[in-house]
Structure formats: C-alpha cells, structure tokens
Structure 1
Amino acid sequence: MSENTELPKNWIKCELGEVVEIHDNERKPINNSERNSRIENKALNELFPYYGATGQVGWIDDFLSNEESVLVGEDAAPFLDPIKNKAYLVKGKFWVNNHAHILRGLQGYVSNKFILHQMNYVDYQEHVSGSTRLKLTKTALTKMPFTLCPFNEQNRITDKIDELFSELDAGVKELEAAQIKLKHYRQSLLKSAVEGALTQKWRDDNKDKIEETGKELLNRILIERKQRWEQNKLEEFKEKGKKPPKNWQDKYPEPVQPDTTDLPELPESWVWASVDQLVYESSYGTSVKCAYETGNTPVLRIPNVINKKVSISDLKETVDLFDIGLNKQLLSGDILIVRTNGSLSLMGQTALVRDIEDGFYFASYLLRLRTPMDTILPEWMDLYFGSKNARAWIENQASSSAGQNNISLSKFSNLHVPLPPLEEQVQLISMLANEFDSIDRQNEATDLGLKQSEAQRKNILKSAFSGQLVPQDPDDEPASVLLEKIKQERVAIAKISKPRKQSKPRKRVELMNTLLEVLTAENDWIDAQNAFQKCGIVDGTSTDRIEEIYTELRKLEKTGRIKIQRQGDFDQLKLTTQDIKED
C-alpha cells in the first residue's frame, strides 16, 4: 500500500492499533500429542477448529474464542509473497495457537471483512523481522498502516469485493477442474501405454516387422549386463596390479527376478523384468560438503529433480576438489531417483538425464540407474516409473523415519517393469511425447489464467483501498469522526469493571536470565515455548524482554550453537554439543 496514495476526502490514514482490537490474550498453544489425546474417541460435532498461522491445523475438544475474527500470521506466514494471503476470517467457536494474531473491529465502527481484505493487501516488508523465520510481532502489527473510511462505505466496499471475488472464484474453479482433468488424462494415457492398449493397433499392423520380442531383448540385455560387469572387474584387477583369480566370473551377482504373482497380463510380445535386470550400474550419490559457486564439481541435489526433469538451476558444487572419474560422472541416459523426501508423493520421483555436460555428479539423497542402452530403454523406464502402477508399488515399499519417507536402492531394484520390443518402445515414447506436449501446453494456459486471476484480485484490492472501487457518499460520517468515536468507545469499555477471576496456583518454574542457560541445564530437546517460559516469558512480559530473548535465539542459531526442529505445530530447541567450525 503506497504511502503517497491520495485518499478520498472523508478517508484517513492511521495505525492499525488505533482502530483494530488485538485479542492475543485468547491464544494458547497445545502440542499435537496433547490435542490427539483430548480428541480421542470424540465425535466431530464435539470438536472445535484449532487454527495456526495460515489456517486450520487440527481439532480440539474446547474453544477459547466465540466471535467472528480475522487471524493474521505471527510467523510461518507468506509475508513477502505478493500473491498468497496472510489473513483469513473465522467464525463460531474456535481455538488459536500462538502462531496467529486475533484481530477484531469494534462492532458498528470497523468491519472485520474490511480488516481482512486490507491485511491481505498491505505490504509487510517493513514490518516483519528475522532472517530464517520471519515474524510479525504484536508491537509491529499495531504500527502497521491502516486506511479508515466511513463505516457504511466499508460495507459497500466489502460487498463489492465479495461480488468480484465470487466471479473470479468461479473462473478459478473451472481452471482447477481443467487441470485435474488433464492430470487424469495424462495418467490414463500412461496406463494405456504401459499395459499395451495404446499400441494395440500398431502391433497388429507391424507384427511381421518386429525383429526382437521383449523376452529376446531382455536376454540380450542380461548378456550385455554380465559382460559389462566382467569388463569392470578386469579393469579393477588391472588398476590394483592383480591377476584375476581362478573362476572369478562365478562371483557375478545374478540380478533379482521380478515377482509377477499379482501383475497384470501383458501383450504376447512383452515380458516382465525387474529394474535390477535392466541396469548394469546402480549407486547412491556423494555426501561430500557442497556450497554455491566454488568452481569445483557440480552436484545435483533433490531440488534439481523437478517434475521428471533435471534442472541445473540452484546448483551447488563440492567445497573441496572431488575426482569422480569418467565412469562415475553423470551421463545422458542415466536415471536419477529421489530416495528421501518428507512428501510421500515426491519420494521415488525420477528424472532422465539428457544432454548433460561433462563433470556432473549427484548427492546422497538421490539414486542413479544406468542401463546398457543410453537411449530408448531408459526413457521407457522413466515413463513407466511415473505410472500409477509403479507409484503405488514405490510408495508401498517406502519406510518412514523422523518424518522422512525413504526407499533404498535394493528395494527400488526389485520394481517390476513391462518390457515391450524395442521398436514398440520407440512408438510408445513418440505417441506419449505428442500427447504430453499437448497436455503441457494446456496446463501452461490454465496456469497463466490462474496467475491472471490472482493479479486481478490484487488490482481489485488496490482500487478498494484507494477509494476507486465504489463511489463515495457525501452523507457518510467522515472517518475522522469515526476514529474519535472508536477512541471514546475504547475508554468506555476500559471503565467497565470486569469480574476478577480466581487465580490458580501456578507451577513454580525456576527462572533463568538467558536462553543459553536454559538449554545448557536441559541438555536435551525442549519445546521453544517451555524454554521461553523458563526465561520468564509469560503473558504480560514486556516487549523489550521478549525481543531480548528472540535476539539471543537468532544469534545462537546463526552461530550454530543450537539446533531447531519442527514437531507438529511447535519448534523444539537443543544445545549443540559439538564444536562448530566456521568456514
């Protein structure tokens, strides 16, 4: 929101804290395990929404708030994203954790919807703090700019915004439905391809032109696979200056046979094979330390495997010199696999390496497969790995630890692959490429439509808060008068005596001066909220003291003195025991 925008005559600019009520005293964080124990065996109609920074994060068996409110993220919100919303409207009975501020307008003076739309339009750049995790403190929130107009005009503005947003929502719904249909169509094409239905007519027309069936192709691959192994072993003996021992060929590791028990029947000229049978080299990547722009060996990581394509943007290189050798570097035709990811749908995703420069390697969270053929076969395998059948098998084989899903190289090697004749693979790849190209173009068009829709929302809000969306009514009470009434109402509310609540005996907490003292005494993971409480951070603590502790936290994190991990809705802290050496 520009400070230089000329406002209509009856509008004024002020600070948010002058006109909006902030009810952060109603917030209370409850960890995930406690919430789960509290809602166990309870019906949904007995539960209440539990909200966080960007929306509902779960359910709970009680409520702390029962008024329409605007929730604005305190941290973990997309403050600097020009498109995503930072505020949302909630109604009814609900519970809010400590990651969102609770805002309300005084009834008859400031509309909650007016607050909502303005908080999704204002620029947060100068009001959030922090380096790794941006935070909007209550103090900063109260000082944010707020445009106030007559109350009746607020309602006219929000009604018009609702009308225009409703039209945009209908268009977005159609575009998103089109994207879903394209996704389903893509999968149906792939299913038809890997089952042989897509090329049924081609097989009927070309049955006399097939020189080698899938079974014969597999036998040829197995022979070449063994020959490659023998060649590599001889090179190893030569490098070590050793003579090959007697019967050394007998140590050849036979590849795993595919388990075809529950697999569908394939066309007559096709055969089932295992990944292990089709590759002669498979390996994990390197775990050497990498950084940006070192000038050493470039290393592809998980962020470089995107939508079944290899991207060399966001590229890191080894910190130290790293000699990978000609045989180990990535080559065109290699298949990379994401072996570890927090998202099950992203774990096991693959990408075919194409036209890559010499000298690239890959990181330890990726796997590499290399077939005896650098074209056609690896492309067919990569297409199959994206099919619904293959994805179901991969996800079923995954193990999970510390919130990460993982598939080992040995497990992935057992994956079954339908193997058509080579000529049919060429035909399938060509047919799918043409269809996928058309799907991609349609997806690009829908993506553009969605981006234009979001841009239009921002234009609507810009018009709304510059006074151009609806006409002004000269009979409306000016905002300056409205602001004075808000001040008077606040004074009147403050004078109303409130019944004193009986204080509950608090559990004695030994207070410490610094966060470092707390973490040293704890010597283990501790919820950040508990650590702050042991530093004396409770309701009513001065802003200066809170900022002092947050400053210490950022300094400890920056210098590597502490570890931070996410557990459910909460951060946990732990003192780093080992010495950290700075580069």
Structure 2
Amino acid sequence: MSKNPDTATQSSSGVPPLNPADQKRRDAASTLGNASQSKSSPEGVKEGGELPKGWEWKTIPDLVTDDGVFIDGDWVESKDQDPNGDVRLIQLADVGDGVYRNRSDRFMTKAKAHALHCTLLKDGDVLIARMPDPLGRACIFPGDKRLSVTVVDVAIVRSGNGEFDHRWLACFVNAHPFRSAISGLQAGSTRKRISRGNLATIPLPVPPLPEQRRIVAEIEKQFTRLEAGVAALQRVQANLKRYRAAVLKAACEGRLVPTEAELPRRSGVPPLGSAKKRQDAASTFETGEALLARILTERRQNWLARRSHGEGGKARGQYKEPAAPDTTNLPTIPNGWTWANGEQLFSWSSGAGLTQQDIQEGNYPVYGGNGVTGYHNAFVAEIPTLIIGRVGALCGNVYLTDGPAWITDNAIYAIQTPSCVAMRFIRLAFTRAELNKRAAGSGQPFVNQRMLNETVIPLPPLAEQTRIVAEVERRLSVVEELESVVSANLQRATRLRNSILQKAFTGGLR
C-alpha cells in the first residue's frame, strides 16, 4: 500500500521537500523544529533545551515502513453508498479529538468497496481528520464488527513494522505543537483543510518505543483524573440548568412568592374584581383579569390614537379585538391570576436588515437572533422592548432591551408594549414558554408572529409580577455566579490538558 503523500514532487524517503518560497510551510516547520536529525528543540516549544537523549526528529512518513499505511481514505460518493451494505463508511463525524465518536450510519456493499479499491481499516489505525472541527484531530479506530473504510478527508496511519506506538502518535497529533503547525499549513477559503502532503512535512519529537509507551500510560493516568473532574463539573452544570428551569417553572405557577390573593386574605379584605376600580392599595389588589382588561383598553386607545393622527396601515378600518386564548388544556393557576396570549399583550414586527459590515460604531446595542452582536449609531426601537430570536438553532431566545436598540431581521420585537406590566416578568414567562421547541422548519428552524400571538402565558397582578421578578433574579444571580465558576474551571481543565500533552512531548512528563 502506498504511503506517499499527495504532492507532485517526492523525496526518496516519501517526504515532499520544503519549498523555500512557501512561507507558511516553513513557519509551521519552525514551530516544531527542523525535520532533520538535529536534536535542537523546536523554536515554538523551546522550554527544555535539546531533545532528551535517544529522541529524534522525524515525520509521519519516516515512522511508517513499506508495509505500513499513510494514505487518505477513499472517494466514496452518495451514489456509491447502500444503506443495506455490509461495509461501514467511517465519516469525519466519527473522528473525535482523541476519542472515536461512532456517530455515523453510512454503508456500502463489498462489491462496491472492491470496485473502488477501498482501503479496509484495521483495529488500532490512527485516523486524522483533515477538515474541522477542530482541524487535524486524531483518534484510534477501535474496530467494528463490520468491514470498514473511511472517507477521503480522513488520513489513515498504520505503522507496519515501524517502531511507534499508535496511541502515542494520536496523542501528539492532538497536542498543541502539532495543531499549531497545522494551522500554519491549512488552506481553503470557506472551509479549512490540510492536505496529507502538508501533514507529511510536520516534524515530531520521537522518543524510543518503550518511552512512547510510558508516556502514553502517564497521559492516560493523568487524563483519567482530569476527565473525572471535568465530568463532575459537567454534572454541576446540568444541575444548575435544571435548577434554573425549576425556578422559572415555580415563578410561572405562583409557587415562588406569596400571591396577592394570599396577602389580603390574611387581613380579611376581599380582592377587587375586573368590574371594580382599585381602592386603597394597602388593603386591596387588582387581579390579573382586571389588569388584562386595562391592557386591552390601552391597546384599543393606542390604535384609535394612531388612526386619529393619520397613521396608516393597521390603524385603518374597524378595530378588531384580539382573540382570547384557549385555556381548555392549560394548568390551574393561582387565584387572582389569568391567562393572556401574545396578541393581547403586544403588536409585533420583524427587525430591520443590518449586516455586520454595515454596523457603524455607536452606543445602541444591535440585537440579532442570538443576542447582542455589536453597537450601532442608530436604533429602530426607542423604548425597552421584548425581542425574540426569529431564525436558526437558537430561535425563540428571549431578550429585553434596556433602552433604544437596533433589532435586525433575524429577530422579532414588540412594537406596542403595555405600560402596566412588568416587562421583566413577561420576558421570563416567554422564556418559560420554550418557543424553540415549537419552532417550525426542519433545515432552518424559525418562529413567526403567528406563533408569538398564540403563545399563552400566565398574568399575575402587577405587584406580584414585581415580587416574582425580584425573587427570580435573586436566585438566578447565585446560579450565574456558580456557572461562571464552573465555566472557568472547565477552561482551566482544557489548559491543564494541553499542558500535560506539552510536557509529554518535550520529555517533561514523569
């Protein structure tokens, strides 16, 4: 099996010569050192001086003997595949960063694999992904109960009779020095990739085989401890996420703070119904039903005002009352609360187009579907308003502006907001509605104004909304602080992982 990399000119050892005119290639090589037998430490990792005794600079082709393999996978098109085939086609998605992911479900027949002269994988082969993400990640193929081949954007390395440990090579390919060299050799405008020919030029500090095995054993021991810590941190993250959801659920069910109905009951004063005016605020309260009636009255008055001022569009013709929500299958809510939908509370509009290149530096936040993306010198919404991500994987995310802001056409925002609600409560109620789970579209999920109009949320009395928001923010501030600590420790674990690999391949891991 040929092991020559895919370049036009080859040296006698199978390694393409470095082109002096190719600055990127020379820079990458200098990151790791010279590909000769010099024992000088590579410039980019010059911490321990010279290589340890017995170590040598080599490249992947140097390590692979004539009966070994250093080739790309096979060019297998969709027409060559067969879901009922008995040969598995390993994909880029299966190649993890040090871990075989086993995610894909593609097959072809033995006859087609033979016709295409495919290379069958063997247990223990090193698979190197030549496309992101991340570019150059490597793992060990653990074998499969079926015959297996892989795609052309995965390089296969097999030692043959060469004296190197496959696990050691996979570890080094995933280490920072090798990744740094890859970043200097990558090509492609939209999707980066590295050719096998360029992979073949990157030098490796190669210890004797027994030392390789000792290094791998030490890496695995330290990684086992590190991964246990990471797993514990991830469990904390998951618990915090569940707690956050539980707080929002309790807030929207009236279980987080005493309700307005409970407070006057203790003093023996009955609440006012929707047909009565509010009396002394110290002894009575306005129910959610009465509050909604006020909101609808304000909505109608705003419509009439726009028409009287000659504003066209929706202010023409006869005023149409928004439809009440269907509460048939909704859960029970506390006494004094009511249900309201998005159409009763708001009028909606899509944002205005603004590309990242067109943003002119200013003081007004620019909201897209994923939150703030920059600051502009103009705004489309003057008062604090509710914003819903319209399209993409994070569609349905809910934001609340503090003041004037630009909202792009990747979001929908409320252009008419009631003056008699706590907007921060409305935001958490819409967040609790989990709009993303109701998104339409398979390839590109989205939410639209119809969905927002039909979204039903609980509406407590105004004073209770304020108390709920205060309690939610108090609890979630603790959650956010803990999430920040967990995130910082996960980043620290990543740095520690890189440090372990760095020491391993400079002879410093003992």
Q: TM-score, normalised by structure 2?
A: 0.76
Q: Does 1:134 align with 2:192?
A: yes
Q: Which amino acid aligns with 1:256?
A: A
Give, in angstroms, the shift of residue 303 of structure 1. 5.8
What is the aligned partner in structure 2 of residue 66 from structure 1? 122
Candidates 341, 347, 363, aligned match of 2:408 = 363
Q: Does 1:331 align with 2:382?
A: yes
Structure 1 residues 351-387: Cα deviation after superposition (integer angstroms, max 9, x where no partner) = 111144xxx4222221001454468532112101222
Give, in angstroms, the shift of residue 98 of structure 1. 2.4
Question: Do the aligned residues in 1 keep the contact of 2:369 with 2:389 (CA within 8 Å)?
Answer: no
d(CA) in 2 for partners of 1:275, 1:269:
20
Give, in angstroms, the shift of residue 420 of structure 1. 0.2
Candidates 401, 418, 422, aligned match of 1:353 = 401
What is the aligned partner in structure 2 of residue 473 from structure 1? none
Instruction: Please list, as runs of the form range in 1=range in 2, the aligned pairs for 1:193-272 lying within 5 A after superposition.
Output: 193-200=251-258, 203-205=261-263, 207=265, 209-236=283-310, 251-272=318-339
Q: Tell me, which stretches of 5 or more residues in structure 1 are unaligned?
A: 80-84, 241-247, 306-310, 471-583
Question: Do the aligned residues in 2 keep the contact of 1:377 with 1:425 (CA within 8 Å)?
Answer: yes
Give, in angstroms, the shift of residue 50 of structure 1. 2.6
Q: Does 1:407 align with 2:447?
A: yes
d(CA) in 1 for partners of 2:460, 2:76:
57
d(CA) in 2 for partners of 1:163, 1:112:
17
What is the aligned partner in structure 2 of residue 441 from structure 1? 481
Instruction: Please list, as runs of the form range in 1=range in 2, the aligned pairs for 1:79-158 lying within 5 A after superposition.
Output: 79=135, 86-93=137-144, 94-106=148-160, 109-121=163-175, 122=178, 123=180, 124-158=182-216
Give, in angstroms, the shift of residue 289 of structure 1. 5.7
Question: Do the aligned residues in 1 keep the contact of 2:205 with 2:505 (CA within 8 Å)?
Answer: yes
Question: Do the aligned residues in 1 keep the contact of 2:125 with 2:157 (CA within 8 Å)?
Answer: yes
Q: Tell me, which stretches of 5 or more residues in structure 2 are unaligned?
A: 1-30, 33-41, 97-101, 111-119, 270-282
Q: Which amino acid aligns with 2:226?
A: L
SS, match of residue 369 in structure 1: strand
Candidates 230, 233, 236, aligned match of 1:172 = 230
d(CA) in 2 for partners of 1:201, 1:377:
16
Candidates 332, 335, 340, aligned match of 1:273 = 340
Q: Relative CO higher for 1 or 2, CA cutoff 8 Å, sep ≥ 6? A: 1
Q: Which amino acid aligns with 1:192?
A: A
Give, in angstroms, the shift of residue 411 of structure 1. 2.0
Question: Do the aligned residues in 2 keep the contact of 1:212 with 1:421 (CA within 8 Å)?
Answer: yes
Give, in angstroms, the shift of residue 73 of structure 1. 1.7
Question: Do the aligned residues in 1 keep the contact of 2:92 with 2:154 (CA within 8 Å)?
Answer: yes
Q: Does 1:381 align with 2:440?
A: no
SS, match of residue 340 in structure 1: coil
d(CA) in 1 for partners of 2:398, 2:198:
45
Question: Do the aligned residues in 2 keep the contact of 1:175 with 1:450 (CA within 8 Å)?
Answer: yes
Q: Which amino acid aligns with 1:193?
A: A
Question: Do the aligned residues in 1 keep the contact of 2:369 with 2:390 (CA within 8 Å)?
Answer: no
Give, in angstroms, the shift of residue 295 of structure 1. 5.8
Candidates 368, 373, 377, aligned match of 1:302 = 368
Query: In structure 2, do the counterparts of structure 1 residues 11 and 187 end up closer, same or farther at CA, with 3 Å as the change threshold?
Result: same
Candidates 234, 243, 265, aligned match of 1:185 = 243
What is the aligned partner in structure 2 of residue 575 from structure 1? none
d(CA) in 1 for partners of 2:349, 2:143:
55
Question: Do the aligned residues in 1 keep the contact of 2:399 with 2:427 (CA within 8 Å)?
Answer: yes
Q: Which amino acid aligns with 1:60?
A: R
Q: Which amino acid aligns with 1:9?
A: K
Identity among equivalent pairs (%): 25
Q: TM-score, normalised by structure 1?
A: 0.67
Query: In structure 2, do the counterparts of structure 1 residues 210 and 250 end up closer, same or farther at CA, with 3 Å as the change threshold?
Result: farther
Q: Does 1:16 align with 2:64?
A: no
Question: Do the aligned residues in 2 keep the contact of 1:210 with 1:423 (CA within 8 Å)?
Answer: no
Q: Does 1:27 align with 2:74?
A: yes
d(CA) in 1 for partners of 2:249, 2:200:
56
SS, match of residue 58 in structure 2: strand
d(CA) in 2 for partners of 1:96, 1:295:
48
